[in-house]
Amino acid sequence: METGTSQREDQRQAAERRRRELLEAADRVVLRDGPEASMNAIAAEAGITKPILYRHFGDKGGLYRALAKRHTDALLSSLRAALGAPAPDRRHRVEATLDTYLTAIEARPQVYRFLMHPSDQGQQQEQGFDVGHHSAPLLRRLGEELAMVIAERVELGPGGEEQARVWGHGIVGMMHAAGDWWLRERPCSREQLVQHLAELLWGRLAVADDRDGGPAF
């Protein structure tokens, strides 16, 4: 009985170890090819055939979800550390959090593009893969995680949980949209972008004067 249990545990650990090795091979291909990364290239990098890769992940959607979880877990860990780090005030903590997200996508732009953007010749045509269908849950997860931190750290009074969720998803949407645009065009430094976004969060838009004295929008 104990021998059978031990063998099953050994098999489970071996399978987890092999899965990690395959994900590391996939990461190397994604870093090289970005959104053009294919199952054929990943299988070749791992030294296996594509059917074996399918056996571990099912299809490209399964592999994508595994990679997305791997990178989202790492990003969330970094964001939690930034939110929990000592800071002179709340604004500095928010700036550190914004900078953590932007630093992550700047450091590995090919991974970011693989997770967030379809490729005309790559993922969309392979196994009918739809990146948008898979990237939306990733952003929702980030939004929910940030909402929990806001609810824990900021006293919002009655209805605070709902407000925290709105803020969490809104801030993630802002970071994603602004970061995506910035990564493509590089109109300013990362530090400047952090300051601009922090100004927006701190209500600068509400108190700024209108140029012509009329309605702002």
pLDDT bucket at 183, cuts 50 / 70 / 90: very high
> Residue 10 is inside which H or E element, if any?
helix 2-33
Cα 89-196-109 angle, rounded to 5 deg: 105
Where do we find the tokens 């059978």?
A: 4
Domains along the sequence of the chain with CATH: 2-207 (1.10.357.10)
Nearest Cα neighbor of 131 from 114, 109, 143 is 114
pLDDT tens digits, residue range 94-149?
A: 899 999 999 999 999 998 888 887 554 444 445 445 555 556 788 898 899 889 88
Q: Where are the alpha helices (DSSP H) in 39-188?
A: 39-46, 50-57, 60-84, 90-107, 109-116, 131-153, 160-185
Judge if pTM exceeds 0.95: no
